[in-house]
Structure 1
């Protein structure tokens, strides 16, 4: 008889193998990863929250770069350092899902949930990306485990730990504050049980104090940098100003004259529901209808609600941030960390269905058959490294950045749409403004830009008005110094800016 720990070791080995397979081919850093990596570099070198623009960074919280910084100091490559942190978090996540599933519904549920986490393609990919998702998901599992302790064996110390975890989640992604819903549910349970108000107050104070110790310093930093009291520098006004072509997808939309409460409410509701159902479709496509159906079974058919209402409320509280995202826009990557909790319900549904099959001594085999079916569903995405070609990544942007670095050295100033080019050039990045060609040239001169880099991949989708810079001779004030044509529809031009 193989023990559960031996089975977990096998699941971890499979998860590690898949992640190393993705790591082998994942050689180009992503746009958001550039910001995280460059902040980590500045933290390690000077202790300042600065990014690839060589300015103080307020767009993303500092939690993830703060973990990457010491690893960068050891390995000397911020891209690799971020991958190491994400990979470690991704492996820890598999073990934490096992603990959570076992805590909620027994060893079989824990093992199946861990196996699904190990083979889920988005989580395998995020474990080798310089993104927050792997660490955020691991902290999410920890916060749910602490929430379960708070409803079963509450204490001031455990409440403080819950506050620290929610604060840490906030420092990775601001919506992490909403995961305090689990603690709010725990307080409601304490009140319903008739516990003494003094005890409830002491626990609540411990939670708030620990949370404040992590949240307040960053809020004060944002106030110092932005001149306003904000919970996040990644606000709605920024998105509308920086991406006007996407504003209609945001539930709040572009600023316009007030049209009355009824009209505005109807517009907001229509856009929110449109995004909500888009998000539902994104999750269904990624996980599969089979997985979501089993999760529904696990939620409705396999739960003794009267006995476990307190615990189930904590677990379901982990999904509260999913109600926030449709108010802005639908980004698949935002939803991925919460799928680990869905997998616990999927595993519970699988175990329940296998038990109902009533095949003598074969219920475990039936359960793992469902896991195998889901593995087949995920196989095409898991096989991406086997059919990988350089065109899968934005290698042309890396090549352009390295060309600038090799010929002109670090320290130049690059204006481009994606920050990857400046990252590889070891240059200061100036974001391409939303202006016409003459306005872009004028802004480049004002900002002291050395090179304007135009990449076809982004220009065709986001800035078609600048496509003339990819065709024919450059306009006055710009000189073509380099061009790549390696990939169709993905040309890159490096244009030197003449001083005014």
Structure 2
């Protein structure tokens, strides 16, 4: 059955696209209203934004994160006056505007109906919506990477080298938001190579020229930053400060970090992927093989279970119709490359969200096909009953997750920070914390307990370098059992408790004068 079977109204396509954009905006504004706590990464993006805003360029560039998103936050902070909201505005705007390049991309490949259906699916997709209200880079990255996909797709379809240059520029800008965009340097040539092979080397010279224009556009924007990273880290060709750290997290979570083959774990954060794979090839291969299947599972989780059946139908239709000759082969190569790529570094839902835009075309195609199939083989009455029931189940499964409050379980973190900010007034405040989000909301300087031993903590308490200690009880007792058993002995006075769920909450201790003069004893 053709994806252009009449499902949506024939006329008013831009009006329907407009309604999809309005729906996406309403969905994200509701989530903004139901948003309770910034992410830990969001705090670090804002720290870098503050550095750029204050003119401390070297400090801002020293962040493990690429510079564009913090610069965007800093650019509108004078207008907004709130760091967190400044970041959220860019995320929301990007999440809403994503529908425009998505529509352009899918309209050329699948036709009008699939393109419009995909836009409505994007408007209410749970994780696209949720990441669109965080102070995180996912939403701006998705917008830029989708624009790059549109340009590369047009370049392949119309055989225009200029589109590859502009696509390279946009992909380069996306790289300066998230380094994963460097994957375009593999995905585009790989797709062109497959097509040349299918066509028995016809167009090989043109494809080589297209790749050169892609590289020119990409490195025109990114070379200064890559050169800076290479000089600053002493590792030429470094593309990300965070790659080694992220790989370390992945190895830790997989239980491989204690492997006896890994002799120098302390330097892992400074290694790039190539160096680590060279030094520990068997360990790295084991990690990749262990993560391949979870990479697919996490991707499907990010798409959300209510979308999965339609994705499978769409992929079945894609494969059945000589997929190697189809226009969406490029999107399929993109999907496969990043599924494997995440296994090479780190399998995580935040990363898998990057694959959702390209997946919505197959999902919408599968949904329309199912709709047309039911309409053809059921009586009108049965079709109405079945289609209404399926639509209700789909919307319920989607919206129950999509409209769930964000980080409500961590609302006490924000409450504690605001409480301490009110106490502080206009003075300076130093907080001993495990969670630096508390210090963010308190507008205070964090002293991270996770980086301190017990003697170092006692030094802070005795020297009067900290004003308050704020911690979750479990973390507190696990890391500093002696102090936690008798806090008053060390000059800590319980001032307030903030309750979360049954097993979570914060305790706020004031560091009193006794602690500053030396603990009792």
> In the alignment, is residue 156 of structure 1 matched against residue 161 of structure 2?
yes
Shift of the 431–175 alpha-carbon distance from structure 1 to 2, 3 Å rule, reads farther
Which residue is equivalent to 2:87? 82
Q: Deviations over 1:399-435 (max 9, x none)?
A: 2365156426465444433221232233344443445
Q: Deviations over 1:244-287 (max 9, x none)?
A: xx74325863574369x9xx766545543443333333333444
Which residue is equivalent to 1:116? 121
How far 1:315 moved relative to its partner? 0.8
Shift of the 67–368 alpha-carbon distance from structure 1 to 2, 3 Å rule, reads farther
Q: CA RMSD in A?
A: 3.7
- Aligned counterpart for 1:131 among listed residues 133, 136, 144: 136
> In the alignment, is residue 234 of structure 1 matched against residue 242 of structure 2?
yes
Q: Deviations over 1:296-344 (max 9, x none)?
A: 2212324674486363231123322232223444321221131121111
Which residue is equivalent to 1:472? 486
- Match of 1:393, SS state, is helix
- Match of 1:324, SS state, is helix
Matches of 1:454 and 1:153, distance apart in 2: 60
> In the alignment, is residue 450 of structure 1 matched against residue 466 of structure 2?
yes
> In the alignment, is residue 425 of structure 1 matched against residue 433 of structure 2?
no
Which residue is equivalent to 1:179? 184
Unaligned runs of 5+ in 2: 1-8, 264-276
> In the alignment, is residue 9 of structure 1 matched against residue 22 of structure 2?
no
Matches of 1:279 and 1:457, distance apart in 2: 34
How far 1:440 moved relative to its partner? 4.2
Shift of the 295–227 alpha-carbon distance from structure 1 to 2, 3 Å rule, reads same
Matches of 1:254 and 1:338, distance apart in 2: 32
- Aligned counterpart for 2:257 among listed residues 240, 253, 257: 253
Matches of 2:206 and 2:394, distance apart in 1: 46
**Contact residue 291 and residue 343 of structure 2 kept, 8 A:** yes
Matches for 1:75-474 after TM superposition, within 5 Å: 75-188=80-193, 191-192=196-197, 194=201, 199-229=206-236, 230-237=238-245, 240=248, 247-250=251-254, 253-254=257-258, 256-257=260-261, 268-289=284-305, 291-302=307-318, 305-306=321-322, 309=325, 311-319=327-335, 320-357=337-374, 359=376, 372-385=392-405, 391-400=408-417, 402-404=419-421, 406-407=423-424, 409=426, 411-442=428-459, 449-451=465-467, 453-456=469-472, 459=475, 464-466=478-480, 469-473=483-487
Matches for 1:34-113 after TM superposition, within 5 Å: 34-46=43-55, 48=57, 50=59, 57-113=62-118
**Contact residue 311 and residue 359 of structure 2 kept, 8 A:** yes
How far 1:109 moved relative to its partner? 0.6
- Match of 2:508, SS state, is strand
Bigger mean CA offset, 404-413 vs 30-39: 404-413
Bigger mean CA offset, 343-352 vs 250-259: 250-259
Shift of the 131–468 alpha-carbon distance from structure 1 to 2, 3 Å rule, reads farther
**Contact residue 75 and residue 81 of structure 1 kept, 8 A:** yes
Unaligned runs of 5+ in 1: none
Bigger mean CA offset, 358-367 vs 216-225: 358-367
How far 1:203 moved relative to its partner? 3.1
Query: Normalising to structure 2: TM-score of the pair?
Result: 0.80
**Contact residue 375 and residue 383 of structure 2 kept, 8 A:** no
Q: Deviations over 1:162-219 (max 9, x none)?
A: 2112212211111221133332135426755556766545433322122112222222
Which residue is equivalent to 2:497? 484
- Match of 1:493, SS state, is strand
Bigger mean CA offset, 300-309 vs 86-95: 300-309
Matches of 1:290 and 1:424, distance apart in 2: 36
How many corresponding residue pairs?
A: 482
Shift of the 198–104 alpha-carbon distance from structure 1 to 2, 3 Å rule, reads closer
Matches of 1:368 and 1:145, distance apart in 2: 34
**Contact residue 496 and residue 509 of structure 2 kept, 8 A:** yes
Shift of the 283–306 alpha-carbon distance from structure 1 to 2, 3 Å rule, reads closer
Q: Deviations over 1:453-480 (max 9, x none)?
A: 44217827xx82235544432564x644
How far 1:24 moved relative to its partner? 1.0
How far 1:48 moved relative to its partner? 1.9
**Contact residue 429 and residue 445 of structure 2 kept, 8 A:** yes
**Contact residue 302 and residue 352 of structure 2 kept, 8 A:** no
Which residue is equivalent to 2:5? none
Shift of the 424–98 alpha-carbon distance from structure 1 to 2, 3 Å rule, reads same
Q: Deviations over 1:341-381 (max 9, x none)?
A: 11111111122233334529989988897655422211222
